[in-house]
Structure 1
Amino acid sequence: MTSLGDWVFGRVDATRVWRDLADARVNYSVDEVSRPSWNIDVHRAPLPAERPGPPVPGGPWEQACRLVRDYEFSPPELVRALYDPAAPLLGRDMLLEARFHGMHFYCGVRVTEVVDETRDGTDRVWGWAYETLEGHLERGQVAYTVVKRQDTGEVLFVVTCHSQGAPTLDRITFLGWRLFGRRVQLRFYRRCADRLRLFVEAALRGERPLPGPRATTGRLVCAPSDAGTRRFDALAIHRVAPA
């Protein structure tokens, strides 16, 4: 019988694949990261501002932090995630479903850093970063942070990333990634920022409650909460740990 977890993630037993991530290792070393063989990116996007000073309770910075914590900013047409919300954020394993031109790739990442600090005496920063695990399409790290510049009230969503395609991809997947992967990656960054800004603006206007991850099966949730199946999802090519 097909479980709800299978329904959310197409034909793949996503719960079993997620469970197997516990034995996977990060698939690169920071010492390898250098241009030009690696993409090194920093993307900053403005969010609704606050008055200067510490973050306002219930204000844009806090609203954005909650959305970032739950991975609600991810565009579901590109990337979805399965994870255990009861697990500590640091060390959390996440199974990502990357949707790419009629193919669904299931790849693991692990949260290896949580940031909660004030920088340079003015910037209040919260966020987290994950690194890619064995079998992922890519190698590298992505960090998602929400920054409030307390001297001006400016609030920013900042994505920093270093990445490259995994050298162990098969020939067909590698060719597809070389042709389209970078374009999709940059589109993902833009869509993340757009979604986060729209959700924060809507929450501040009181037009809709903040979304939250929805349960799949057992203790796992699927994020973002507006991720749903599409008519032709069952026809897509599904691949687990393509690298």
Structure 2
Amino acid sequence: MNRICVLASGLVAVVAAVSFNSPVDAAEQAIKAPAPAVLAPVSGHRETAIFAGGCFWGVEGVFSHVKGVVSATSGYTGGKVGTADYEEVSSGTTGHAESVKVVFDPAQVNYADLLRIYFSVVADPTLLNRQGPDRGTQYRSALFPMSAAQDKVARAYIAQLSYAHVYSKPIVTRIEASRTFYPAEAHHQDFMARNPTYPYIVINDRPKVEALKRIFPANWKA
């Protein structure tokens, strides 16, 4: 199923978005995951991490409000350069996931902290190949570690969450080896910031940003 957040007419977007969810429902899905027991070592002033968790508009929107994040860019990861195109990725046959490249200052926010935010408010890690109203492998919950240290921290945190039974269902978030990130088309960048009243954003993504501010005030930036 192609993503509902394509640039359709306003009426279609409103009907489709409301039929799937409500802001209250989306906000209630947030859960404060426990603090990670394993942290990534800090070296330098810039690191990069890649996250996939449904429509990249919302993933980018949340991480852009995290203190210590320098930039968040929407794009595609997991497939080949020739298929890193919105229309092709939307077919669900390219191997790509809609993803977000996060550049951050590890002295302000650790990779483990970003994982905690991801598992708390960005994505539901128990949903296989879907998030919210979106269906298909391109919307899978996946992490793309950029280093051996990130890989270790990601695996340790998933194991920690699973052992603690934080979620009522098994975690299906994938840890994938592909690290090649392809930026999405210009009109997808900063979509939430530029279109705060767009129906899909109001229904599915704004509640995630509000949950970030409410649950992790120390990590919040306007």
TM over 0.5, yes or no?
Answer: no
Higher relative contact order, chain-length normalized (CA < 8 Å, sep 6+): 2
Structure of larger gyration radius: 1
Q: If the length of structure 2 is used for normalisation, what is the TM-score?
A: 0.30
Greater helix share, structure number: 2
Q: Please state which structure has a larger fraction of its residues in strand.
A: 1
